[in-house]
A and B are shown apart, each in its own frame.
Chain A
Protein backbone atom coordinates (compact mmCIF):
# COMPACT_ATOMS: atom_id res chain seq x y z
CA UNK A 1 0.00 0.00 0.00
CA UNK A 2 1.27 3.44 -0.91
CA UNK A 3 1.47 6.18 1.71
CA UNK A 4 -1.12 8.37 -0.06
CA UNK A 5 -3.64 5.53 -0.01
CA UNK A 6 -2.82 4.85 3.61
CA UNK A 7 -3.48 8.48 4.54
CA UNK A 8 -6.82 8.43 2.77
CA UNK A 9 -7.72 5.36 4.84
CA UNK A 10 -6.50 7.12 7.98
CA UNK A 11 -8.88 9.97 7.21
CA UNK A 12 -11.75 7.52 6.80
CA UNK A 13 -10.73 5.74 9.99
CA UNK A 14 -10.86 8.99 11.97
CA UNK A 15 -14.45 9.45 10.75
CA UNK A 16 -15.30 5.86 11.68
CA UNK A 17 -16.02 4.95 8.08
CA UNK A 18 -13.39 2.31 7.40
CA UNK A 19 -14.46 -1.31 7.02
CA UNK A 20 -12.59 -4.14 8.76
CA UNK A 21 -10.83 -5.42 5.65
CA UNK A 22 -9.24 -2.10 4.77
CA UNK A 23 -8.49 -1.36 8.42
CA UNK A 24 -6.35 -4.50 8.62
CA UNK A 25 -4.46 -3.49 5.49
CA UNK A 26 -3.90 -0.06 6.99
CA UNK A 27 -2.65 -1.49 10.27
CA UNK A 28 -0.19 -3.64 8.36
CA UNK A 29 1.10 -0.56 6.55
CA UNK A 30 1.36 1.49 9.73
CA UNK A 31 3.44 -1.22 11.39
CA UNK A 32 6.39 -0.47 9.13
CA UNK A 33 5.77 3.18 8.08
CA UNK A 34 6.66 5.72 10.75
CA UNK A 35 5.65 8.70 8.58
CA UNK A 36 2.11 7.42 8.19
CA UNK A 37 1.93 6.64 11.89
CA UNK A 38 2.90 10.23 12.62
CA UNK A 39 0.37 11.47 10.05
CA UNK A 40 -2.36 9.38 11.68
CA UNK A 41 -1.62 10.89 15.06
CA UNK A 42 -1.59 14.44 13.69
CA UNK A 43 -4.87 13.98 11.83
CA UNK A 44 -6.50 12.80 15.00
CA UNK A 45 -5.05 15.69 16.97
CA UNK A 46 -6.20 18.24 14.45
CA UNK A 47 -9.70 16.86 14.62
CA UNK A 48 -9.65 17.16 18.40
CA UNK A 49 -8.27 20.69 18.20
CA UNK A 50 -11.04 21.82 15.86
CA UNK A 51 -13.74 20.19 17.93
CA UNK A 52 -12.43 21.78 21.08
CA UNK A 53 -12.71 25.33 19.74
CA UNK A 54 -15.05 27.39 21.86
CA UNK A 55 -18.50 28.04 20.49
CA UNK A 56 -19.86 31.57 20.26
CA UNK A 57 -23.22 32.53 21.68
CA UNK A 58 -25.37 34.70 19.39
CA UNK A 59 -26.48 38.20 20.24
CA UNK A 60 -29.90 38.50 21.77
CA UNK A 61 -31.18 41.08 19.31
CA UNK A 62 -30.80 38.80 16.31
CA UNK A 63 -34.47 37.98 15.87
CA UNK A 64 -35.62 41.61 16.24
CA UNK A 65 -33.20 42.71 13.53
CA UNK A 66 -34.31 39.95 11.22
CA UNK A 67 -38.02 40.56 11.82
CA UNK A 68 -37.58 44.27 11.12
CA UNK A 69 -35.76 43.52 7.90
CA UNK A 70 -38.42 41.08 6.75
CA UNK A 71 -41.16 43.57 7.53
CA UNK A 72 -39.38 46.32 5.59
CA UNK A 73 -38.90 43.99 2.65
CA UNK A 74 -42.55 42.97 2.60
CA UNK A 75 -43.67 46.61 2.69
CA UNK A 76 -41.32 47.40 -0.16
CA UNK A 77 -42.82 44.66 -2.30
CA UNK A 78 -46.37 45.52 -1.30
CA UNK A 79 -45.95 49.00 -2.82
CA UNK A 80 -44.72 47.64 -6.08
CA UNK A 81 -47.56 47.09 -8.57
CA UNK A 82 -47.40 44.48 -11.30
CA UNK A 83 -47.92 47.14 -14.01
CA UNK A 84 -44.33 47.11 -15.31
CA UNK A 85 -44.64 43.43 -16.15
CA UNK A 86 -47.68 44.11 -18.30
CA UNK A 87 -45.99 47.16 -19.77
CA UNK A 88 -43.06 45.04 -20.87
CA UNK A 89 -45.40 42.45 -22.35
CA UNK A 90 -47.39 45.10 -24.19
CA UNK A 91 -44.23 46.71 -25.52
CA UNK A 92 -42.95 43.34 -26.68
CA UNK A 93 -46.15 42.65 -28.60
CA UNK A 94 -45.88 46.06 -30.28
CA UNK A 95 -42.26 45.47 -31.24
CA UNK A 96 -43.05 42.05 -32.70
CA UNK A 97 -45.95 43.51 -34.66
CA UNK A 98 -43.80 46.34 -35.94
CA UNK A 99 -41.05 43.98 -37.02
CA UNK A 100 -43.58 41.79 -38.81
CA UNK A 101 -45.00 44.85 -40.56
CA UNK A 102 -41.53 46.04 -41.45
CA UNK A 103 -40.70 42.66 -42.97
CA UNK A 104 -43.92 42.57 -44.97
CA UNK A 105 -43.57 46.13 -46.23
CA UNK A 106 -39.91 45.44 -46.92
CA UNK A 107 -40.99 42.64 -49.26
CA UNK A 108 -43.27 45.05 -51.05
CA UNK A 109 -40.43 47.52 -51.34
CA UNK A 110 -38.10 44.96 -52.80
CA UNK A 111 -40.40 44.09 -55.67
CA UNK A 112 -39.22 47.00 -57.83
CA UNK A 113 -35.66 45.81 -57.29
CA UNK A 114 -36.42 42.70 -59.25
CA UNK A 115 -36.78 44.91 -62.30
CA UNK A 116 -33.10 45.90 -61.90
CA UNK A 117 -33.37 49.63 -61.78
CA UNK A 118 -30.22 51.28 -63.01
CA UNK A 119 -28.29 54.10 -61.49
CA UNK A 120 -28.40 57.39 -63.29
CA UNK A 121 -24.80 56.98 -64.31
CA UNK A 122 -25.53 53.56 -65.74
CA UNK A 123 -28.31 54.99 -67.81
CA UNK A 124 -25.87 57.51 -68.98
CA UNK A 125 -23.39 54.80 -69.94
CA UNK A 126 -25.90 53.22 -72.17
CA UNK A 127 -26.73 56.55 -73.50
CA UNK A 128 -23.09 57.18 -74.20
CA UNK A 129 -22.86 53.98 -76.17
CA UNK A 130 -25.69 55.12 -78.25
CA UNK A 131 -24.56 58.69 -78.34
CA UNK A 132 -25.47 59.48 -81.88
CA UNK A 133 -28.99 58.19 -81.85
CA UNK A 134 -29.56 59.56 -78.35
CA UNK A 135 -28.63 63.06 -79.27
CA UNK A 136 -31.11 62.98 -82.08
CA UNK A 137 -33.83 61.61 -79.88
CA UNK A 138 -33.02 64.03 -77.05
CA UNK A 139 -33.75 66.95 -79.25
CA UNK A 140 -37.05 65.41 -80.25
CA UNK A 141 -37.92 64.51 -76.69
CA UNK A 142 -37.11 67.96 -75.41
CA UNK A 143 -39.36 69.44 -77.99
CA UNK A 144 -42.12 67.04 -77.03
CA UNK A 145 -41.74 67.69 -73.36
CA UNK A 146 -41.86 71.42 -73.87
CA UNK A 147 -45.04 71.04 -75.80
CA UNK A 148 -46.72 68.62 -73.42
CA UNK A 149 -45.70 69.92 -70.08
CA UNK A 150 -43.75 72.95 -69.03
CA UNK A 151 -42.89 71.44 -65.63
CA UNK A 152 -39.46 69.77 -65.80
CA UNK A 153 -39.50 67.89 -62.46
CA UNK A 154 -41.37 64.67 -63.35
CA UNK A 155 -39.51 64.44 -66.63
CA UNK A 156 -36.16 64.58 -64.84
CA UNK A 157 -37.08 61.71 -62.51
CA UNK A 158 -38.25 59.50 -65.31
CA UNK A 159 -34.87 58.27 -66.72
CA UNK A 160 -33.73 56.94 -63.36
CA UNK A 161 -36.27 54.15 -63.51
CA UNK A 162 -34.81 52.58 -66.63
CA UNK A 163 -33.02 49.24 -66.55
CA UNK A 164 -29.52 48.87 -67.98
CA UNK A 165 -29.46 45.06 -67.96
CA UNK A 166 -32.42 44.87 -70.21
CA UNK A 167 -30.61 46.96 -72.75
CA UNK A 168 -27.44 45.37 -74.11
CA UNK A 169 -24.55 47.57 -75.12
CA UNK A 170 -24.63 46.72 -78.77
CA UNK A 171 -28.37 46.74 -79.30
CA UNK A 172 -30.19 49.35 -77.33
CA UNK A 173 -33.92 49.13 -77.39
CA UNK A 174 -35.86 51.72 -79.20
CA UNK A 175 -38.34 52.39 -76.45
CA UNK A 176 -35.51 53.67 -74.29
CA UNK A 177 -34.19 56.14 -76.84
CA UNK A 178 -36.93 58.73 -76.53
CA UNK A 179 -35.98 59.18 -72.90
CA UNK A 180 -35.34 62.86 -72.50
CA UNK A 181 -32.15 64.13 -70.94
CA UNK A 182 -32.87 65.83 -67.66
CA UNK A 183 -30.18 68.44 -67.83
CA UNK A 184 -27.43 69.30 -70.13
CA UNK A 185 -24.41 69.13 -67.74
CA UNK A 186 -25.13 65.61 -66.48
CA UNK A 187 -23.61 63.55 -69.28
CA UNK A 188 -20.22 65.22 -68.87
CA UNK A 189 -18.93 63.26 -65.85
CA UNK A 190 -20.10 60.05 -67.47
CA UNK A 191 -17.76 60.65 -70.33
CA UNK A 192 -14.86 61.15 -67.97
CA UNK A 193 -15.50 57.98 -65.94
CA UNK A 194 -17.14 55.31 -68.01
CA UNK A 195 -18.02 52.13 -66.15
CA UNK A 196 -18.51 48.64 -67.61
CA UNK A 197 -22.09 47.48 -67.63
CA UNK A 198 -21.13 44.01 -66.26
CA UNK A 199 -20.19 45.42 -62.87
CA UNK A 200 -23.56 46.89 -62.17
CA UNK A 201 -24.96 45.48 -58.94
CA UNK A 202 -28.33 43.89 -59.28
CA UNK A 203 -29.71 45.22 -56.00
CA UNK A 204 -29.43 48.80 -54.87
CA UNK A 205 -31.87 49.83 -52.22
CA UNK A 206 -30.81 53.46 -52.29
CA UNK A 207 -31.57 53.69 -55.91
CA UNK A 208 -34.84 51.87 -55.48
CA UNK A 209 -35.86 54.51 -53.01
CA UNK A 210 -35.05 57.13 -55.62
CA UNK A 211 -36.70 55.26 -58.41
CA UNK A 212 -40.11 55.10 -56.77
CA UNK A 213 -40.09 58.02 -54.42
CA UNK A 214 -43.70 58.41 -53.52
CA UNK A 215 -45.07 54.95 -52.60
CA UNK A 216 -41.91 53.32 -51.15
CA UNK A 217 -40.93 56.32 -49.07
CA UNK A 218 -44.37 56.45 -47.58
CA UNK A 219 -44.27 52.77 -46.63
CA UNK A 220 -40.74 53.01 -45.28
CA UNK A 221 -41.68 56.08 -43.33
CA UNK A 222 -44.67 54.32 -41.79
CA UNK A 223 -42.51 51.32 -40.83
CA UNK A 224 -39.92 53.64 -39.28
CA UNK A 225 -42.63 55.38 -37.33
CA UNK A 226 -43.96 52.06 -36.05
CA UNK A 227 -40.48 50.88 -35.02
CA UNK A 228 -39.85 54.20 -33.27
CA UNK A 229 -43.20 53.88 -31.52
CA UNK A 230 -42.37 50.34 -30.31
CA UNK A 231 -38.94 51.35 -29.10
CA UNK A 232 -40.34 54.39 -27.28
CA UNK A 233 -42.88 52.18 -25.51
CA UNK A 234 -40.08 49.82 -24.45
CA UNK A 235 -37.89 52.66 -23.20
CA UNK A 236 -40.83 54.20 -21.38
CA UNK A 237 -41.62 50.89 -19.69
CA UNK A 238 -38.04 50.41 -18.51
CA UNK A 239 -37.81 54.03 -17.33
CA UNK A 240 -41.04 53.65 -15.42
CA UNK A 241 -39.68 50.51 -13.78
CA UNK A 242 -36.41 52.24 -12.87
CA UNK A 243 -38.24 55.21 -11.40
CA UNK A 244 -40.43 52.90 -9.38
CA UNK A 245 -37.40 51.06 -8.03
CA UNK A 246 -35.68 54.31 -7.15
CA UNK A 247 -38.79 55.53 -5.48
CA UNK A 248 -38.94 52.33 -3.48
CA UNK A 249 -35.34 52.71 -2.44
CA UNK A 250 -35.89 56.27 -1.36
Chain B
Protein backbone atom coordinates (compact mmCIF):
# COMPACT_ATOMS: atom_id res chain seq x y z
CA UNK B 1 0.00 0.00 0.00
CA UNK B 2 1.32 3.40 -0.99
CA UNK B 3 2.02 5.75 1.88
CA UNK B 4 0.55 9.23 1.59
CA UNK B 5 2.88 12.11 0.74
CA UNK B 6 2.44 13.81 4.08
CA UNK B 7 3.47 10.75 6.06
CA UNK B 8 6.53 10.27 3.88
CA UNK B 9 7.35 13.94 4.34
CA UNK B 10 7.22 13.53 8.12
CA UNK B 11 9.56 10.54 7.91
CA UNK B 12 11.86 12.52 5.65
CA UNK B 13 11.77 15.35 8.18
CA UNK B 14 12.88 12.86 10.83
CA UNK B 15 15.92 11.95 8.76
CA UNK B 16 14.61 9.04 6.70
CA UNK B 17 16.25 9.52 3.31
CA UNK B 18 14.40 6.56 1.79
CA UNK B 19 11.15 8.48 2.33
CA UNK B 20 12.73 11.40 0.52
CA UNK B 21 13.74 9.12 -2.32
CA UNK B 22 10.19 7.82 -2.63
CA UNK B 23 8.82 11.35 -2.83
CA UNK B 24 11.53 12.30 -5.31
CA UNK B 25 10.53 9.51 -7.67
CA UNK B 26 6.88 10.33 -7.15
CA UNK B 27 7.24 13.99 -8.13
CA UNK B 28 10.34 14.37 -10.31
CA UNK B 29 8.42 13.87 -13.54
CA UNK B 30 5.87 16.55 -12.73
CA UNK B 31 8.51 19.01 -11.58
CA UNK B 32 10.62 18.31 -14.67
CA UNK B 33 7.74 18.90 -17.08
CA UNK B 34 6.63 22.10 -15.39
CA UNK B 35 10.23 23.33 -15.49
CA UNK B 36 10.65 22.31 -19.12
CA UNK B 37 7.54 24.22 -20.25
CA UNK B 38 8.53 27.19 -18.14
CA UNK B 39 12.12 27.43 -19.34
CA UNK B 40 12.16 25.61 -22.66
CA UNK B 41 15.54 23.93 -22.29
CA UNK B 42 15.79 20.34 -21.12
CA UNK B 43 19.18 20.82 -19.46
CA UNK B 44 17.93 23.87 -17.58
CA UNK B 45 14.79 21.98 -16.59
CA UNK B 46 16.90 19.16 -15.17
CA UNK B 47 18.90 21.72 -13.21
CA UNK B 48 15.72 23.27 -11.87
CA UNK B 49 14.45 19.85 -10.84
CA UNK B 50 17.67 19.07 -9.00
CA UNK B 51 17.71 22.48 -7.34
CA UNK B 52 14.08 22.14 -6.31
CA UNK B 53 14.61 18.84 -4.51
CA UNK B 54 17.92 19.97 -3.04
CA UNK B 55 16.30 23.06 -1.57
CA UNK B 56 13.35 21.00 -0.41
CA UNK B 57 15.75 18.78 1.49
CA UNK B 58 17.46 21.79 3.03
CA UNK B 59 14.16 23.23 4.18
CA UNK B 60 12.23 20.08 5.07
CA UNK B 61 12.62 20.96 8.74
CA UNK B 62 10.32 23.91 8.03
CA UNK B 63 7.57 21.74 6.55
CA UNK B 64 4.62 22.15 8.90
CA UNK B 65 2.20 19.68 7.44
CA UNK B 66 -0.47 20.55 4.92
CA UNK B 67 -0.43 19.34 1.37
CA UNK B 68 3.07 18.20 0.51
CA UNK B 69 2.75 18.74 -3.25
CA UNK B 70 1.72 22.37 -2.70
CA UNK B 71 4.77 22.93 -0.53
CA UNK B 72 7.06 21.27 -3.08
CA UNK B 73 5.61 23.12 -6.06
CA UNK B 74 6.03 26.44 -4.29
CA UNK B 75 9.75 25.74 -4.28
CA UNK B 76 9.64 24.52 -7.87
CA UNK B 77 7.65 27.54 -9.06
CA UNK B 78 10.09 29.93 -7.42
CA UNK B 79 12.99 28.14 -9.05
CA UNK B 80 11.26 28.25 -12.43
CA UNK B 81 10.42 31.93 -12.12
CA UNK B 82 13.97 32.83 -11.10
CA UNK B 83 15.42 30.88 -13.99
CA UNK B 84 12.87 32.15 -16.51
CA UNK B 85 13.44 35.76 -15.51
CA UNK B 86 17.19 35.42 -15.76
CA UNK B 87 16.99 33.69 -19.07
CA UNK B 88 16.21 35.85 -22.04
CA UNK B 89 13.24 34.85 -24.10
CA UNK B 90 15.34 32.40 -26.05
CA UNK B 91 13.41 30.65 -28.76
CA UNK B 92 13.85 26.93 -29.02
CA UNK B 93 15.73 25.84 -32.08
CA UNK B 94 14.62 23.07 -34.41
CA UNK B 95 17.80 21.12 -33.57
CA UNK B 96 16.92 21.24 -29.90
CA UNK B 97 13.44 20.01 -30.64
CA UNK B 98 14.76 17.11 -32.69
CA UNK B 99 17.27 16.29 -29.96
CA UNK B 100 14.53 16.37 -27.39
CA UNK B 101 12.33 14.11 -29.47
CA UNK B 102 15.15 11.60 -29.88
CA UNK B 103 15.94 11.67 -26.21
CA UNK B 104 12.48 11.14 -24.94
CA UNK B 105 11.52 8.58 -27.58
CA UNK B 106 8.09 10.12 -27.85
CA UNK B 107 7.28 8.97 -31.37
CA UNK B 108 4.52 6.46 -31.58
CA UNK B 109 5.70 3.75 -33.94
CA UNK B 110 2.17 3.10 -35.12
CA UNK B 111 1.36 6.73 -35.80
CA UNK B 112 1.21 8.13 -39.30
CA UNK B 113 4.48 10.01 -40.11
CA UNK B 114 2.41 12.90 -41.44
CA UNK B 115 0.51 13.11 -38.20
CA UNK B 116 3.79 13.10 -36.29
CA UNK B 117 5.12 15.91 -38.48
CA UNK B 118 2.03 18.04 -38.02
CA UNK B 119 1.95 17.36 -34.31
CA UNK B 120 5.61 18.31 -33.91
CA UNK B 121 5.18 21.48 -35.96
CA UNK B 122 2.14 22.46 -34.00
CA UNK B 123 3.83 21.71 -30.66
CA UNK B 124 6.78 23.75 -31.80
CA UNK B 125 4.57 26.79 -32.40
CA UNK B 126 2.73 26.40 -29.13
CA UNK B 127 5.99 26.04 -27.28
CA UNK B 128 7.55 29.06 -28.98
CA UNK B 129 4.61 31.24 -28.11
CA UNK B 130 4.44 29.92 -24.56
CA UNK B 131 8.05 30.95 -23.99
CA UNK B 132 7.26 34.54 -24.91
CA UNK B 133 4.54 34.91 -22.29
CA UNK B 134 5.64 36.77 -19.12
CA UNK B 135 6.83 34.25 -16.51
CA UNK B 136 4.23 35.14 -13.85
CA UNK B 137 1.46 34.39 -16.38
CA UNK B 138 3.29 31.44 -17.90
CA UNK B 139 3.58 29.63 -14.59
CA UNK B 140 -0.17 29.53 -14.04
CA UNK B 141 -0.82 28.36 -17.60
CA UNK B 142 1.75 25.60 -17.15
CA UNK B 143 0.43 24.52 -13.76
CA UNK B 144 -3.14 24.55 -15.05
CA UNK B 145 -2.75 22.96 -18.46
CA UNK B 146 0.56 21.07 -18.42
CA UNK B 147 0.50 19.77 -14.85
CA UNK B 148 -3.28 19.73 -14.46
CA UNK B 149 -3.15 21.14 -10.96
CA UNK B 150 -6.48 22.07 -9.32
CA UNK B 151 -7.48 25.73 -9.15
CA UNK B 152 -7.16 26.06 -5.37
CA UNK B 153 -3.74 24.47 -5.32
CA UNK B 154 -2.42 26.76 -8.07
CA UNK B 155 -3.63 29.72 -6.04
CA UNK B 156 -1.71 28.41 -3.01
CA UNK B 157 1.43 27.77 -5.04
CA UNK B 158 1.55 31.21 -6.62
CA UNK B 159 0.31 32.92 -3.46
CA UNK B 160 -2.92 34.55 -4.56
CA UNK B 161 -6.63 34.16 -3.99
CA UNK B 162 -8.79 31.90 -6.15
CA UNK B 163 -10.63 34.94 -7.52
CA UNK B 164 -7.35 36.62 -8.41
CA UNK B 165 -6.17 33.44 -10.10
CA UNK B 166 -9.26 33.54 -12.36
CA UNK B 167 -8.35 37.04 -13.50
CA UNK B 168 -4.71 36.07 -14.04
CA UNK B 169 -5.67 33.04 -16.07
CA UNK B 170 -7.97 35.17 -18.21
CA UNK B 171 -5.14 37.64 -18.90
CA UNK B 172 -2.64 34.85 -19.58
CA UNK B 173 -5.02 33.26 -22.07
CA UNK B 174 -5.66 36.57 -23.80
CA UNK B 175 -1.91 37.09 -24.24
CA UNK B 176 -1.48 33.53 -25.48
CA UNK B 177 -4.36 33.80 -27.89
CA UNK B 178 -3.17 37.14 -29.21
CA UNK B 179 0.33 35.81 -29.84
CA UNK B 180 -0.90 32.65 -31.53
CA UNK B 181 -2.99 34.68 -33.96
CA UNK B 182 -0.22 35.28 -36.55
CA UNK B 183 0.44 31.57 -36.67
CA UNK B 184 -3.22 30.86 -37.32
CA UNK B 185 -3.39 33.52 -40.02
CA UNK B 186 -0.40 32.00 -41.82
CA UNK B 187 -2.33 28.75 -42.15
CA UNK B 188 -5.37 30.23 -43.76
CA UNK B 189 -7.09 31.23 -40.55
CA UNK B 190 -7.82 27.70 -39.45
CA UNK B 191 -8.15 26.90 -35.80
CA UNK B 192 -5.58 24.89 -33.91
CA UNK B 193 -7.97 22.02 -33.46
CA UNK B 194 -8.68 21.93 -37.16
CA UNK B 195 -4.97 21.95 -37.87
CA UNK B 196 -4.42 19.00 -35.61
CA UNK B 197 -7.15 17.04 -37.33
CA UNK B 198 -6.15 17.77 -40.92
CA UNK B 199 -3.78 15.69 -43.00
CA UNK B 200 -0.62 16.98 -44.67
CA UNK B 201 -2.24 16.97 -48.10
CA UNK B 202 -4.56 19.74 -46.89
CA UNK B 203 -1.60 22.09 -46.34
CA UNK B 204 -0.27 23.60 -49.56
CA UNK B 205 2.83 24.91 -47.79
CA UNK B 206 3.84 21.46 -46.66
Binding site for B on A (CB under 8 A): 7-8, 11-12, 14-15, 17, 39, 41-43, 45-59, 62-63, 65-67, 69-70, 73
Contact = CB atoms under 8 A, between A and B. Distances in A.
Given A42-B177, A55-B29, A63-B25, A15 B169 contact: yes
A45 B177 CA distance: 10
A63 B170 CA distance: 38
Interface in B26-41: 28-29, 32-33, 36-37
A58 B42 contact: no
B54 interface: yes
Main DSSP-derived SS at the B contact region: helix
B192 interface: yes
Contacts, number: 103
Interface in B163-177: 166-167, 169-170, 173-174, 176-177
A123 B176 CA distance: 86
A197 to B, nearest CB: 68
Contacts of A62: 24, 28, 46, 49-50
A54 B24 contact: no
Interface of B: 17, 21, 24-25, 28-29, 32-33, 36-37, 42, 45-46, 49-50, 53-54, 57-58, 100, 104, 106, 122-123, 126-127, 130, 141, 144-146, 148, 151, 166-167, 169-170, 173-174, 176-177, 180, 184, 191-193, 196
A48 B193 contact: yes
B104 A54 contact: yes
B193 A53 contact: no
Contact of B166 (A11, A42, A65, A69): A11
Given A57-B104, A58-B49, A43 B173 contact: yes
Contacts of A48: 192-193
